[in-house]
Structure 1
Amino acid sequence: MSATSSKRAWLQNLVGEWSYQFHTADDSDHSGVAANGTESVRALSDHFIILDNTGQSSDGSQTRAATLIGYEPNTGRFAGAVAGSALDRLFVYDGDLSPDGRALLLETEGPAMSEGRETDRYRDVFQIIDDDHRFTAAEVLQDGEWKEFMRSDFVRVR
């Protein structure tokens, strides 16, 4: 299997209906936040998928997010964007598979989480555990190291 078809196939593994549990890291600025919801992932083409996420936040309000992720054969990399009701901007991704091929690492830049900086580098890690389990972790680059600050654990429902 070529690298291009392998990367396209990786994305297709996410297609389906999922339920999830979301939580923030214990040492994050917003520790103890938990939520749950559903995510519907569909293929837009062989190269692109759309993730439509609906959840309930800890305060009971409904949240929605839409993510587009695709593999671009001309660059050999993944690209995408995410927008949502809890976000005040469009985050644009660039990334690739991890060296072991188990995770998709998508980086972006956004408003800083801490005072003293205007922006931070962020990375969303999409990892497939098996056919029916996966997770997405959100990380921020601090002092040269990636630090997880929230995570969603997914179970396939269809």
Structure 2
Amino acid sequence: MEAVQAQQQHRWLQQLIGEWTYESEMPAQPGQPPQRAEGTERVRALGELWVVCESQGQMPGCGPVQTMMTLGYDPLQQRFVGTWVGSMMDRLWVYEGELDATQKVLVLSVDGPAFDDPNKTAHYRDIIEIKSPDHRVMTSHVQGEDGHWRQFVTMHYRRQG
């Protein structure tokens, strides 16, 4: 088997490599302040084709959590691909996505259990936006039964060192 050569999309992912801190904010019920949390993330390369993002921090209602995301690019599908797991749940989330026209925003789509009924499935999006080499923002959204997308978390990542 011949080694796969890194493409532009693989190189795009390399900008995520490094040590990061994050602050997250989740909207609360009406009349309540938003819930906030913070943590750290280490993003490392797995060769030239993949990045592995390992986070640890606090999550409101869950306490200490650890998460792991893998991201790569599949030239045959012409899609970004990846996975996400967290210590607070038993589900493996499988992403697929694409860059927007600006090449600054990666939109990752995934289906998973609905927040209000784990027997139902919902559509989710995690959107990674590069603000600068040392600042990126990830927002997470869920699609309601009415078809509208609702943002449920915003995470600001800042590079350390």
**Superposition TM-score, scaled by structure 2 size:** 0.86
Report the equivalent of 2:148.
145
Deviation at 1:60, TM superposition (A): 8.1
Mapping of residues 15-54 of structure 1, within 5 Å = 15-26=17-28, 32-54=34-56
Unaligned stretches of 5+ residues in structure 2: 1-5
Q: 1:57 aligns with which of 56, 59, 64?
A: 59
Which amino acid is 2:159 matched to?
R
Deviation at 1:61, TM superposition (A): 2.6
Report the equivalent of 1:13.
15
Q: Check whether the contact 1:47–1:72 (CA below 8 A) recurs between aligned residues.
A: no
Relative distance call for 1:76 and 1:111 in structure 2 (3 A) is same
Relative distance call for 1:116 and 1:44 in structure 2 (3 A) is closer
Report the equivalent of 1:155.
158
CA–CA distance in structure 1, aligned partners of residues 138 and 86 of structure 2? 16
CA–CA distance in structure 2, aligned partners of residues 100 and 59 of structure 1? 36
Deviation at 1:145, TM superposition (A): 2.9
Which amino acid is 1:149 matched to?
F
Mapping of residues 76-155 of structure 1, within 5 Å = 76-115=78-117, 118-142=120-144, 143-155=146-158
Q: Check whether the contact 1:24–1:31 (CA below 8 A) recurs between aligned residues.
A: no
**Superposition TM-score, scaled by structure 1 size:** 0.88
Q: Check whether the contact 2:62–2:88 (CA below 8 A) recurs between aligned residues.
A: no
Unaligned stretches of 5+ residues in structure 1: none
Identity %: 34
